[in-house]
């Protein structure tokens, strides 16, 4: 990754922070900084890295409810929003190295629900992949598609083509790959991608992956990714769960 493409993110306090509510806990939460490089700018090529095969994903999302871009119990008190580009090597590493632990510790236990916001910073291939992912999401299998796509990219590094996208979708149980291919250019897919782009603009996101946490009824808090470890995210989630709720 070239130095000029590197951007780091900080855990930002929400506006109008409420005085007197567990200041030490808030300070600890703000100190949880993660630091990784971010993919940014058209034409960025992921760096080759070895990971496990697609079979490692078997059962990863089994039993967890999915509804479009949302994964997990819709009543979960904490929301984790991930902004990602399917051509970004750092997004891939986050999905394969960090997310599985978050799933087991916090999503399966009903503490956290995940929201996937697909951005297209890295050119036409990003747009192709994002459209297919959104179309598969209309069958409530977006998270499976993203995981399988990243695993194939890590192992084989193929070009992003219609054949590849059809293959990824076809290898997911319960997905009608032909239907997803036909819905890639639908108004619903366009709406989802436009919403992701608009939210990224509102949050001033300039690189990916970008990760935000929110407790129910509160503003999103940005996490700074400084390593590919789930531990800082877990600690931030636990601190947010223990913090007293702010009045709405």
Which pLDDT score is estimated for 103? 97
Domain assignment present for residue 52? The answer is no
Domain assignment present for residue 248? The answer is no
Which pLDDT score is estimated for 170? 95
Which pLDDT score is estimated for 216? 85
What is the residue range of 201's domain?
28-39+60-242
Rounded Cα gap, residues 70 and 138, in angstroms: 11
Domain assignment present for residue 214? The answer is yes
Q: What is the pLDDT of residues 86-111, one digit of tens each?
A: 999 999 999 999 999 999 999 999 99
CATH code: domain of residue 193: 3.40.30.10
Domain assignment present for residue 215? The answer is yes
Rounded Cα gap, residues 188 and 182, in angstroms: 12
Domain assignment present for residue 86? The answer is yes
Domain assignment present for residue 124? The answer is yes
Count of helices and strands (H, E) across the chain = 9, 6
H-type alpha helices, the chain: 23-31, 89-93, 99-102, 124-137, 142-156, 162-170, 177-183, 187-202, 231-242
Class of residue 34 by CB neighbours under 10 A (exposed 0-12, middle 13-18, buried 19+): buried
Q: What is the pLDDT of residues 158-217, one digit of tens each?
A: 999 999 999 999 999 999 999 999 999 999 999 999 999 999 999 999 889 999 999 987
Task: Count structural domains, the chain.
Answer: 1
Domain assignment present for residue 4? The answer is no
Specify the 3-state DSSP secondary structure of 67: strand
Q: What is the pLDDT of residues 13-27, one digit of tens each?
A: 333 334 444 444 444
Which pLDDT score is estimated for 109? 96
Domain assignment present for residue 205? The answer is yes
Which pLDDT score is estimated for 14? 36
Q: Which of 135, 130, 145 is nearest to 187 (CA)?
A: 135
């Amino acid at each position: 990754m070239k130095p000029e493409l590197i951007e780091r993110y900080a855990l930002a306090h929400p506006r109008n922070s409420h005085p007197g509510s567990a200041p030490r806990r808030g300070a600890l939460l703000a100190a949880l900084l993660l630091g990784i490089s971010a993919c940014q700018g058209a034409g960025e090529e992921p760096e080759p890295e070895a990971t496990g095969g697609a079979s490692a994903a078997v059962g990863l999302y089994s039993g967890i409810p999915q509804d479009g871009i949302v994964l997990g119990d819709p009543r979960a008190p904490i929301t984790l929003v991930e902004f990602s580009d399917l051509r970004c090597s750092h997004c891939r590493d986050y999905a394969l190295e960090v997310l599985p632990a978050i799933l087991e510790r916090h999503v399966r236990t009903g503490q956290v629900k995940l929201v996937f916001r697909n951005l297209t910073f890295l050119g036409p291939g990003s747009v192709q992949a994002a459209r297919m992912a959104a179309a598969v999401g209309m069958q409530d299998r977006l998270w499976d598609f993203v995981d399988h796509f990243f695993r194939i990219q890590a192992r084989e590094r193929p070009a992003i083509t219609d054949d590849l996208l059809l293959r990824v979708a076809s290898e997911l149980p319960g997905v009608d790959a032909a239907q997803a291919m036909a819905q890639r250019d639908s108004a619903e897919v366009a709406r989802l991608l436009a919403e992701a782009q608009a939210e990224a603009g509102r949050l001033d996101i300039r690189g990916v992956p970008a990760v935000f946490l929110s407790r129910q009824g509160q503003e999103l808090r940005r996490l700074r990714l400084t390593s590919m470890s789930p531990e800082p995210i877990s600690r931030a989630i636990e601190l947010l769960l223990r913090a007293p709720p702010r009045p709405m």
